[in-house]
């Protein structure tokens, strides 16, 4: 029996996810920000995925952001919290003593003043 204990960093892709993503790896791999046909096909696929997540989370598709990984997602969450706090007049933040060092090199966002 093999045991893999690194699932906090990476996890085997499920068969369902792999089947859904295979066309994106092989056929629909254009840059979704591009105006050419492959890019537009990718943009359509991305919009459809965003709509599925939004529907399942009872959210607006504009609230769904895809990131490249955990560090980027952590930073996006912190920046969003800082921006919402700033709108509400909050000027300081306290982070848990246990933090991933991967967040340290990211510069503060505009108006966030750092975290």
Q: Is the pTM of this model over 0.85?
A: no
State yes or no: pLDDT of 46 exceeds 70: yes
Instruction: State mean pLDDT over 48-62.
Output: 96
pLDDT of residue 111: 53
SS3 letters across the chain: CCCCCCCCCCCCCCHHHHHHHHHHHHCCCCCCCCCCHHHHHHHHHHHHHHHHHHHHHCCCHHHCCCCCCHHHHHHHHHHHHHHHHHHCCCCCCCCCCCCCHHHCCCCCCCCCCCC
């Amino acid at each position: 029996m093999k045991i893999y204990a690194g699932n906090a960093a990476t996890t085997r892709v499920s068969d369902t996810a792999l089947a859904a993503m295979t066309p994106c790896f092989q056929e629909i791999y254009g840059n979704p920000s591009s105006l050419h046909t492959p890019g537009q096909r990718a943009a359509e696929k991305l919009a459809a995925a965003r709509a599925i997540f939004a529907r399942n989370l009872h959210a607006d598709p504009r609230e769904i952001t895809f990131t490249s990984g955990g560090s980027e997602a952590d930073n996006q969450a912190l920046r969003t919290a800082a921006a919402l706090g700033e709108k509400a007049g909050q000027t300081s933040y306290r982070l848990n003593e246990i933090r991933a060092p991967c967040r340290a090199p990211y510069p503060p966002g505009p108006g966030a003043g750092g975290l």
